[in-house]
């Protein structure tokens, strides 16, 4: 079996997040046997598409798609010299996921079987609460109640972001601190321990502010504190860890096993968060997850992208022994995925069952590919 064509499918404005509009990019790898595989990455779809078509496609055409490890290293080396920890590694992640999907289809097996087989019968999830029916800043109890009713007992919110942006992460007053804590307090008062609360900070804060915020949140026993600091200087997390008695979570923005090295060696976090569409694909995620297990660290995959990201993360979670919980976005599987994908991957009673196959078990709808919303290109054209 040989690779004959690389196709990119771009949705330039898929969704708005805390820092703006992002684009989803799907990569379809075609072969001479009529079997294809699909991968995905984001958020800078135009930049990632350029890497796929201009840098990677010429190296992939004519190769055996089942040589996943060799292809990963060849593609990585082709961009390593110019600095790879951006669009290059995200593009490689999408290609890698497509190769695993293709391999699963060629063997008529779901991807989780190829990653070591089923470790979990069900995958626990939490809901990341952006663009939801209720705003967690103004209606946190209503939002938590609705999630609870659907069987979801864990949620992630980021009530400190507005102040972090306004003050550029350099200060937070007592009144601002109390205002940001208010949604957490209301959820705790209404649900006690019945709703886990993960706190996201998007790396907005300096070290003194991060310590103050962490100390103020101690009485609420949150699930974790995620990205309180930027990830450019991981040594700063050592100082934060000394002052913090709650779990620190890092970080979907660390790319490849080399990006996670310092986190492991210096014991800087208690929860490891990787993104399969950013860290180097399923090939690299499997290695990072196993490395985390060596340090007895749980893995909580980041999963805020499109439907292929969701299914790839689900397969990875099913096969990962040290899985803690998987992120999901209710607005995605209840709304956005419906016109795009053949399956939405909706949970039942707050959990995901065993993912489908063969491969990832999901594809883009033909009618979606014909809409004016997407841009389809290929190499060879």
Q: Tell me: the pLDDT tens digits for 161-203?
A: 999 999 999 999 999 999 999 999 999 999 999 999 999 999 9
125 exposure class (CB count in 10 Å sphere: 0-12, 13-18, 19+): buried
341's CB contacts (< 8 A; 6+ apart) are: 306, 307, 308, 362, 363, 364, 365, 368
CATH top-level class of 3-108+366-379 = alpha beta
pLDDT score, position 19: 66
> H/E element holding 17?
strand 3-17
Long-range contacts (CB closer than 8 Å, 24 or more residues apart) made by 169-174: 169/204, 169/205, 169/206, 169/209, 170/206, 170/209, 171/209, 172/205, 172/209, 172/212, 172/213
- The torsion region of residue 9 among left (phi > 0), alpha (psi -120 to 50) and beta comes to beta
DSSP state of 220: G
Q: Has domain 113-352 been given CATH number 3.20.20.140?
A: no
Residues 79-92: tens digit of each pLDDT: 999 988 899 999 99
Buried b (16+ CB within 10 A) or exposed e, 263-283: bbeeebbbbbbbbbbbbbbbb
pLDDT at 8 over 90: yes
Residue 9 — φ and ψ, nearest 5°? -125, 110
Is 3-108+366-379's fold the same as 113-352's?
A: no
* DSSP secondary structure letter of residue 359: B
Which range is least confidently modeled, 169-183, 229-243, 272-286? 229-243
Task: Give the domain ranges of the chain.
Answer: 3-108+366-379, 113-352
> Contact 304/274 with Cβ under 8 angstroms?
no
DSSP at 131 = S
Q: How far apart are CA 161 and CA 216, in angstroms?
A: 16
pLDDT at 52 over 70: yes
Q: Residue 260 carries which DSSP code?
A: H
Q: Is the pLDDT of residue 133 over 90?
A: no
Sheet holding 3-17, edge to edge: 36-41, 20-31, 3-17, 375-379
Short-list 254, 290, 251, CA closest to 270: 251
Query: Which residues, in sequence order, are bridge partners of residue 284?
Result: none
Q: What are the φ/ψ torsions at residue 306 (nearest 5 degrees)?
A: -85, -170
DSSP H helical ranges for 218-345? 235-243, 256-265, 281-294, 307-318, 330-331
Give tens-digit pLDDT for 298-316: 999 999 999 999 999 999 9
Task: Specify the DSSP element, H or E, that contains 113.
Answer: helix 111-114
C-alpha–C-alpha distance, residues 146 and 57, integer Å: 45
Query: In the predicted model, what is the mean pLDDT of residues 106-115?
Result: 98
**How many CA atoms, within 13 angstroms, populate the side-chain half-sphere of residue 128?**
19
CA atoms within 13 A on the CB side of 192: 2
pLDDT confidence of residue 14: 72
pTM over 0.95: yes
Q: What is the pLDDT of residue 263?
A: 95
Residue 315, both tokens:
């397969």
By residue count, the chain amounts to 381
119, with CB counted inside 10 A (0-12, 13-18, 19+), is middle
Q: Average pLDDT of 127-147?
A: 94
Whether 67 has a pLDDT exceeding 70, the answer reads yes
Give the count of alpha carbons within 13 A of 160, CB side only: 33
Give pLDDT, residue 131.
81
Asked if the model's pLDDT at residue 141 lies above 80, the reply is: yes
CA 312/CA 231 separation, integer angstroms = 25
Q: How far apart are CA 37 and CA 286, in angstroms?
A: 19
Percent of the chain at pLDDT > 70 equals 99
DSSP structural state of residue 336: I
Average pLDDT, the chain: 96
- DSSP letters for 300-318: -----S-HHHHHHHHHHHH
Q: What is the pLDDT of residue 13?
A: 79
Whether residue 15 is predicted with pLDDT greater than 90 in this model: the reply is no
Q: Would you state the pLDDT for residue 266? A: 94
């Amino acid at each position: 079996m040989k690779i004959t064509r690389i196709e990119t499918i771009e949705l330039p404005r898929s969704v708005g997040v805390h820092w703006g509009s992002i684009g989803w990019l799907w990569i379809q790898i075609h072969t001479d046997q009529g079997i294809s595989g699909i991968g995905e990455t984001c958020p800078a779809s135009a930049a990632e598409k350029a890497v796929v078509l201009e840098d990677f496609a010429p190296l992939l055409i004519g190769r055996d798609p089942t040589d996943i490890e060799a292809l990963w290293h060849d593609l990585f080396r082709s961009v390593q010299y110019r600095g790879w920890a951006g669009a290059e590694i995200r593009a490689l992640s999408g290609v890698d996921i497509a190769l695993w999907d293709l391999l699963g289809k060629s063997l008529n097996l779901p991807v989780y079987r190829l990653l070591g087989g089923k470790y979990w019968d069900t995958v626990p999830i939490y809901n990341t609460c952006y663009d939801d029916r209720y705003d967690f800043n103004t209606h946190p109890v209503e939002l938590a109640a609705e999630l609870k009713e659907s069987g979801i007992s864990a949620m992630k919110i980021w009530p400190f972001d507005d102040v972090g942006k306004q003050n550029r992460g350099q200060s937070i007053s007592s009144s601002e601190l109390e205002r940001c804590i208010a949604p957490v307090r209301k959820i705790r008062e209404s649900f006690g321990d019945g709703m886990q609360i993960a706190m996201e900070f998007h790396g907005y804060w300096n070290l003194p502010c991060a310590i103050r915020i962490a100390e103020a949140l101690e009485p609420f026993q949150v699930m974790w504190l995620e990205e309180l600091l930027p990830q450019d200087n991981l040594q700063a997390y050592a100082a934060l860890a000394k002052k913090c008695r709650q779990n620190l979570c890092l970080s979907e923005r660390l790319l490849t096993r080399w990006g996670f090295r310092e986190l492991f060696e210096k014991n800087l976090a208690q929860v490891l968060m990787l993104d399969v569409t950013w860290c180097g694909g399923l090939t690299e995620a499997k290695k990072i997850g196993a490395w985390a297990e060596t340090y007895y660290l749980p893995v909580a995959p980041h999963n805020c992208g499109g439907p292929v990201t969701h299914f790839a993360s689900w397969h990875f979670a099913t096969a990962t022994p040290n899985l803690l919980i998987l992120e999901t976005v209710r607005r995605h599987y209840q709304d956005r995925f419906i016109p795009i994908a053949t399956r939405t991957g909706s949970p039942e009673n707050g959990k995901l069952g065993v993912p489908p196959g063969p491969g990832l078990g999901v594809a883009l709808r033909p009618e979606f590919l014909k809409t004016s919303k997407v841009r389809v290109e290929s190499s060879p054209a």
